[in-house]
Amino acid sequence: MNTTNFQYGSDVLGIGTVIGLASGSLRGSFSPAAEKRIRASQAQVADIVSRQKTVYGINTGFGILAHTKISEEDTRILQHKILQSHSVGVGDAVPTEIARIMLITKIHALAQGYSGVQWETLQRLLWHVEEDVIPVVPEKGSVGASGDLAPLSHLFLPLIGLGEVVHRGVRRPAREVLEQYGLAPVQLGPKEGLALINGTQFILAYAVKGVQRLHNCLEAADIIGAMSLEALTGTKAPFDERLHRLRPYAGNSLVAQRLRFLLGNSEIMQSHVDCGRVQDPYSLRCMPQVHGASRNAWLHLRQLTEVELNSVTDNPIILEEGDTISGGNFHGQPLALPLDYACLAAAEIGNISDRRCYLLLEGKWGLPLLLMRNVGLNSGFMIPQYTTAALVTENKTLCFPASADSIPTSLGQEDHVSMGSISGRKLSQVLDNLEYILAIELMSACQAIEFRRPLKSSGILEAAHEFVRNFVGFASEDRIFAEDIRQLHRIIRDFSFVNYCNRFSRALGIELNAGFEKDFGI
């Protein structure tokens, strides 16, 4: 049974906690202190309205209309209209998990008590999460500057009985679902509409998932790369700790350690210690440097994402003393840059993985050409590498940094924008491709390693190979490899491959990330 063990607006929100709340394995609530802050902030907004003090977004228009005064009686209508007018998203709906994370992170930001929203509004938002009534949010339309205006507007349309939701897997009009539960639309108070749609929660949701998915790909890439190295009778000498002390990047050192553990006590490795080969190709020898650089990029994204998770990103901010500050905490640049960096980091993992796929096909170092004995009649594993080449090239086209561009909006009032929403979506696309690339390398490495029998690899890598063979068998002749790729893609994407390898290594008393857990574990 789920238990309430996170308090919005009071506890520190970490990436693992967000994922737990989104999956339903954790539940959230509001502490009495948070409720007190929320009610006090809303009372300050009511006081501003009653005193007719001019404050942006409370009793003025928005953007270029900031100098247009709104009467006291129209302040509530204004907040209703902003959700309607800013709901201009286009394209496919984002995954429901992304929309759910948007809700969770927005609740946490508003519950800190600097936004002037009603207590009842936050309770309704929590209801959406707990009852799994998830708004439909189009994927395109945000420039990531005044926050993610369009996607957040769609996210909160159901509050006022508009828009659509996904309920029990079915897409339905929000009003129908509210009526089913006997709920009326929320009557938004002054500033609430603006507080709801100002913020970076669309960018942030993609960053959270990007951190989780890229971490899984990095862990998988080390394991799969080690399997390819074994199949190609490469050496583990370049992973010597003494070498990496001389260039002590944290990511490099971690990957070198993981490779040492993954290759430890391997019969295959021991069988060719005096083979006379001087150096391996870079895609084998430089895994600590390449995988490690991507680890460092991942760490940067993780650190900044966790700052954003616990930040207040709407505008204006209502301070405890009743002061208001109209600033730029909604601007997406702090996440846009690391998301673009992470996009490049993910693409490079795919790039080096494709090179290892190619090496496995060359027919060198005792492996058969194209990883089959009878080629000619059979094409062997030639064509799966075409797919990795295509995916790698597609990823390269996605690596142009969205944050390098800015197009003025709101008639020049919002004259520099982050485009961070595009950065987040591009990272997701690159990770989609990377998971397939790694699946194809895993398929090829498992095929190749069987040509080293009866010699065995390390205990961990043998377990990884056995796990794969539960889904995909050895190929002695051509077949439809798309099905094999699909099976292995699934066990990479759902984390089961990495989780299995980690559990097995711990059973052997080996912690692959020992000494690096604080920075590089989630």
- Contact between 135 and 164 under an 8 Å Cβ cutoff? The reply is yes
User: 50: helix, coil or strand?
Assistant: helix
pLDDT per residue, tens digit, the chain (522 aa), is 456 689 999 999 999 999 999 999 999 999 999 999 999 999 998 888 888 777 776 776 666 666 677 777 777 888 889 999 999 999 999 999 999 999 999 999 999 999 999 999 999 999 999 999 999 999 999 999 988 999 999 999 999 999 999 999 999 999 999 999 999 999 999 889 999 999 999 999 999 999 999 999 999 999 999 999 999 999 999 999 999 999 999 999 999 999 999 999 999 999 998 887 889 999 999 999 999 999 999 999 999 999 999 999 998 999 987 789 989 999 999 999 999 999 999 999 999 999 999 999 999 999 999 999 999 999 999 999 999 999 999 999 999 999 999 999 887 888 899 999 999 999 999 999 999 999 999 999 999 999 999 999 999 999 999 999 999 999 999 999 999 999 999 999 999 999 999 999 999 999 999 999 999 988
Q: Under CATH, to which class is 4-199 assigned?
A: mainly alpha
- Contact between 55 and 33 under an 8 Å Cβ cutoff? The reply is no
pTM of the model: 0.96
CA–CA distances in Å: residue 512 to residues 245, 256, 279, 434, 509: 18, 10, 25, 22, 10
CA–CA distances in Å: residue 346 to residues 18, 211, 218, 432: 22, 11, 8, 10
Cβ atoms < 10 Å from Cβ of 68? 10
418/285 Cα distance (integer angstroms): 38
**What is the residue extent of each domain of the chain?**
4-199, 206-313+328-520
63/76 Cα distance (integer angstroms): 18
pLDDT for position 404: 96
**Residue of 56, 114, 206, 341 marked active site:** 56
56 has catalytic annotation: yes
Phi-psi region of 441 (alpha: psi -120 to 50; beta: other; left: phi over 0): alpha
24/47 Cα distance (integer angstroms): 38
- Contact between 396 and 346 under an 8 Å Cβ cutoff? The reply is no
**What fold characterizes domain 206-313+328-520?**
Fumarase C; Chain A, domain 2 (1.20.200)
- Contact between 392 and 351 under an 8 Å Cβ cutoff? The reply is yes
